[in-house]
C-alpha cells in the first residue's frame, strides 16, 4: 500500500512540476476568441509575459512561431536562448472547433509532457495575443498557464494594459506574471501582417 502512495505522490509531483501555477479547485470559465482566424494568427510571436514554467528556467528571448500545415494542423516551434545557445521544442496544434480560438497542443519530443489546451482569450492578430491554459488533476488540483505574446519584442504600454484588462475580465490572476527578457536576442524574421 505504501508503494502505491509513493507512486501517486511521485506522479502528482511530476505532473505539477512542469505546470506553471498549481492551485486547488476549479479554474475560471474564460471567454475564448470567437470567429478566430487561424491564418492571421500564424507567424512569429514574442513572449513578453508569462506564468513561471519549469522548462523555461534560465531562458530568455522566447518566441513562438506558428505555421499552418496542409492537413490544417499548426506546426508550433517554441524557441528560447538558454546558456548562450538557442533551444527549440517542436509541437503540433489542432483547432478544437473551427472559428474558435481553442487548440489542443502536443510536444511529442518534450520530456514529461502531454497534450495541453491553448485558449486565445484575446488577439488583434497584428500586435497582441493573450493565451490561457488550465488542466485539472484528480478533480481538485489544477495547473494554470498564461502567456502574453506580441509581434514586437518590446510592445507599448497600452498593449500591456489591454492584456491585463483581458486577464482581469476573465478572473485570471496577473500576480504570477513575470517579464520575459527580450534584450540582446538573436534576430528573427519579422512578421508581416496580412
Residues 15-64 pLDDT 10s: 443 445 555 556 678 999 999 999 999 999 999 999 987 666 778 999 99
Q: How many residues does the chain have?
A: 194
Output the average pLDDT for the chain.
84
Q: pLDDT tier at 9 (50, 70, 90 boundaries)?
A: very low
69 pLDDT exceeds 80? yes
189 pLDDT exceeds 90? no
pTM for the predicted model, two decimal places: 0.84
Domain count, the chain: 1
The answer to whether residue 27 sits within a structural domain is: yes
The answer to whether residue 192 sits within a structural domain is: no
Q: Which domain holds residue 22?
A: 2-179
* pLDDT for the residue numbered 115: 74
DSSP 8-state code for residue 34:
B
* pLDDT for the residue numbered 121: 99
Q: pLDDT tier at 108 (50, 70, 90 boundaries)?
A: confident
CB atoms within 10 A of CB 178: 11
pLDDT per residue as tens digits for the range 147-181? 999 999 999 999 999 999 999 999 999 999 999 99
Q: 88 phi and psi, to 5 degrees?
A: -125, 150
* pLDDT for the residue numbered 136: 73
The answer to whether residue 193 sits within a structural domain is: no
The answer to whether residue 122 sits within a structural domain is: yes
144 pLDDT exceeds 90? no
For residue 128 the three cell numbers come to 497582441
The answer to whether residue 191 sits within a structural domain is: no
The answer to whether residue 143 sits within a structural domain is: yes
Report the Cα 26 to chain-centroid distance in Å.
19
Stronger pLDDT, 110 or 8, i.e. the higher one: 110
Q: If DSSP codes are grouped into helix, strand and coil, which group holds residue 75?
A: strand
The answer to whether residue 194 sits within a structural domain is: no
Handedness of CA 164, 167, 171, 172 (dihedral sign): negative
Question: What CATH number corresponds to the domain at position 27?
Answer: 2.40.128.20
Report the Cα 7 to chain-centroid distance in Å.
29
87 pLDDT exceeds 50? yes
* pLDDT for the residue numbered 183: 95
The answer to whether residue 83 sits within a structural domain is: yes
Residue with cell 522548462: 55
Amino acid at each position: 500500500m505504501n508503494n502505491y502512495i509513493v507512486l501517486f505522490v511521485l506522479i502528482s509531483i511530476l505532473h505539477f512540476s512542469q505546470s506553471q501555477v498549481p492551485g486547488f479547485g476549479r479554474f475560471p470559465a474564460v471567454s475564448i476568441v470567437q470567429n478566430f482566424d487561424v491564418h492571421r494568427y500564424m507567424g512569429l510571436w514574442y513572449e513578453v509575459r508569462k506564468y513561471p514554467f519549469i522548462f523555461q528556467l534560465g531562458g530568455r528571448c522566447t518566441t513562438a512561431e506558428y505555421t499552418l500545415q496542409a492537413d490544417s494542423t499548426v506546426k508550433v516551434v517554441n524557441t528560447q536562448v538558454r546558456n548562450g545557445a538557442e533551444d527549440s521544442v517542436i509541437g503540433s496544434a489542432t483547432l478544437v472547433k473551427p472559428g474558435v480560438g481553442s487548440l489542443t497542443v502536443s510536444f511529442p519530443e518534450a520530456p514529461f509532457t502531454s497534450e495541453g489546451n491553448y485558449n486565445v482569450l484575446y488577439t488583434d492578430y497584428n500586435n497582441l495575443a493573450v493565451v490561457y491554459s488550465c488542466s485539472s488533476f484528480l478533480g481538485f488540483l489544477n495547473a494554470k498557464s498564461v502567456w502574453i505574446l506580441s509581434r514586437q519584442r518590446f510592445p507599448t504600454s497600452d498593449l500591456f494594459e489591454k492584456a491585463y484588462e483581458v486577464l482581469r475580465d476573465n478572473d485570471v490572476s496577473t500576480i504570477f506574471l513575470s517579464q520575459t527578457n527580450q534584450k540582446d536576442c538573436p534576430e528573427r524574421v519579422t512578421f508581416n501582417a496580412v
